[in-house]
Amino acid sequence: MAAALLEPALLRRLEGLALQVRRAVSGQMGGERRSRKRGRSIEFADFRNYTPGDDFRLIDWNAYARLDRFMLRLFVAEEELPLSLFVDLSGSMDWGSPNKAVTARRLAGAIAYVALAALDRVRLTVFADAPTSGGAPYRGRRAAAQLFARLQSFPAGGVTNYERLVWPIGRQRPGMSVLITDGLGEPAMDAALGALQRAHQEGAVLQLLAPQEITPDWSGDARLKDAETGLEREFTATPLTQSAYVNALARRTTEIERAAHRRGLRFARLSSAEPIDEMVQRTLRRIGLLG
């Protein structure tokens, strides 16, 4: 199953990467992430006075010898990173060549695999007109195949509704969230981005577009049909109208980027024609999502 979504060679290369967090996180289980909680790791954090009930294994005997006081030695806890993947599988994503939905699944799989390889916990949510949970959180590299299969099991379709993402986002523990979408749904995604900020999520918004929608490759008379709503409009494409469309798309991209930055999120615009390897190794590392 995993091979169907991502090639083994790619998976091997992904194992060398890790999600980059800018601040410490707190998970439910141990992992490889610095946690705000003091815990067990080799990285010294602080001292404090011993109080009854403390784990006496943490008493710094050297300090007792010098100070004749019980001092507890505190270490930075290394915990798992809760990674939430929100993948847009609306009708507009099921478009383009290469298909954006396919690319979105692969990209989500790649990011998830990086997290799973680092023992981070991955929660998957796909959405179109309503969010659908991808099941219980995935943890460990062995869960990757299951996650990939789950990703592929969701069909693309429906109308994008970012506002309905607010509730599932609000339930997230502080951690990292990655939103993969084309950003073309008519209701603005600002509500969803605001929810990410309120839920103390750091992460990224990855706008995935097909090359044909970045640069329309047709002209002349056509009947345009909206991939999501099915609305139709007769249209005559001229250089002037094509230019107006490109400008509108650029404005939309800029709006999303600004909104993301305002919420402390990273942003990248990706083309579905770009190989996943390129996206991960170059673009996602460039924006600091992976390292």
| Sign of the torsion formed by the C-alpha atoms of 268, 273, 277 and 282 | negative
Total residues interacting with another protein, rule: CB under 8 A: 35
* Cβ neighbours, 10 Å, residue 198: 13
Q: Is 80 in the site for another protein (CB under 8 A)?
A: no
- The 3-state DSSP class for residue 242 equals helix
Output the smallest distance, CB 234 to another protein, in A: 4
| φ, ψ for residue 120, nearest 5 deg | -85, 155
Rule CB under 8 A: choose which of 155, 224, 258, 261 binds another protein: 224
Q: Which stretch binds another protein (CB under 8 A): 59-67, 131-139, 162-170, 241-249?
A: 241-249
* Cβ neighbours, 10 Å, residue 245: 14
Q: Is 235 in the site for another protein (CB under 8 A)?
A: yes
Output the smallest distance, CB 31 to another protein, in A: 37
Distance CA 155, CA 132 (A): 11
* Cβ neighbours, 10 Å, residue 44: 11
Rule CB under 8 A: choose which of 249, 264, 274, 285 binds another protein: 249
Q: Give the residue with the Cβ less far from another protein, 212 or 281.
A: 212
Q: Is 233 in the site for another protein (CB under 8 A)?
A: yes
Output the smallest distance, CB 34 to another protein, in A: 40
Q: Smallest Cα–Cα separation from 265: which of 214, 216, 185, 192?
A: 192
- The 3-state DSSP class for residue 269 equals strand
Residues that bind another protein (CB under 8 A): 91-93, 95-96, 100, 182, 184-186, 210, 213, 218, 221-229, 231-236, 240-241, 244-245, 248-249, 252
